[in-house]
Amino acid sequence: MTVQPPEPDAAGVRRLLEQAREVLDAHPYPGDGACGGCLAGWSRLVPSPCEQARWAAAVLQHYGRSPGGPSETR
């Protein structure tokens, strides 16, 4: 038996894409190997890309090409 997950609604996908873009904006890659967002927000020295940025990039890669809008990956 195969179970198919329900298709996400367009409004939910738009909100998810907006959140992913906000996360990527908040966790920039400064070029020195550490996440600028984690350092500024939590005083944590975390390798870049951090978990939050990797999640956001994966969401944009997966849903960004959906019929609801253009692809916006970094």
Digits of tens for pLDDT over the chain (74 positions)? 777 766 778 888 899 999 999 999 999 877 778 998 999 888 999 998 999 999 999 999 998 754 333 333 34
- 24 closest CA partner among 2, 16, 70, 45: 16
How far from each other are the two terminal CA atoms of the chain, in whole angstroms? 38
Q: Which residues, 6 or more positions from 26, have their beta carbon under 8 angstroms from its beta carbon?
A: 37, 41, 52
User: Are 26 and 55 contacting, i.e. CB atoms less than 8 angstroms apart?
Assistant: no
As a whole number of angstroms, the distance between CA 6 and CA 32 comes to 41
